[in-house]
Amino acid sequence: MKKPKKQIIFWGDVGRLMLDLGKLAVGGVIIGGILRGGVPPVILIVCGTVAAFVFFILGFFWIAKEKQEKKEEDDLC
């Protein structure tokens, strides 16, 4: 059974969004370190790194899923 093209495009868009959020998390860690707010640097770096890592992994996963679905769709045609 074929999947609609909108769903395939959706996964790629979500993947790119997650990569952008990962970049923002890295930028937040850098800016937060420079501004030296009330958050201890160790907590800032650990939380920012974990958040960025999760966003990057999810982004790459969903982009790979989109490519796999496109390949399967091309194989069916």
The pLDDT tens digits for 26-75 are 998 888 888 877 888 889 889 999 999 999 999 999 999 888 888 877 77
How far is the C-alpha of 38 from the C-alpha of 25, rounded, in Å?
18
The whole-angstrom separation of Cα 66 and Cα 38 is 41
In a domain, 76, yes or no: no
Residue 22: the pLDDT is 95
Output DSSP code: residue 38.
S
Asked whether residue 5 is domain-assigned, the answer is no
Domain of residue 44 covers 15-70
User: Does residue 23 fall inside a structural domain?
Assistant: yes
Whether 2 maps to a domain, the answer reads no
CA distance 34 to 38: 12
For residue 52, what pLDDT is reported? 94
Instruction: Please check whether residue 7 lies inside any domain of the structure.
Output: no
Answer yes or no: is 33 within a domain: yes
Whether the model pTM is above 0.95: no
Query: What is the band of 16 on the pLDDT scale with cuts at 50, 70, 90?
Result: very high
Residue 10 lies in a domain: no
What number of residues does the chain have? Answer: 77
Residue 5's pLDDT is 62
Domain count, the chain: 1
Q: Quick check: is 4 in a domain? A: no
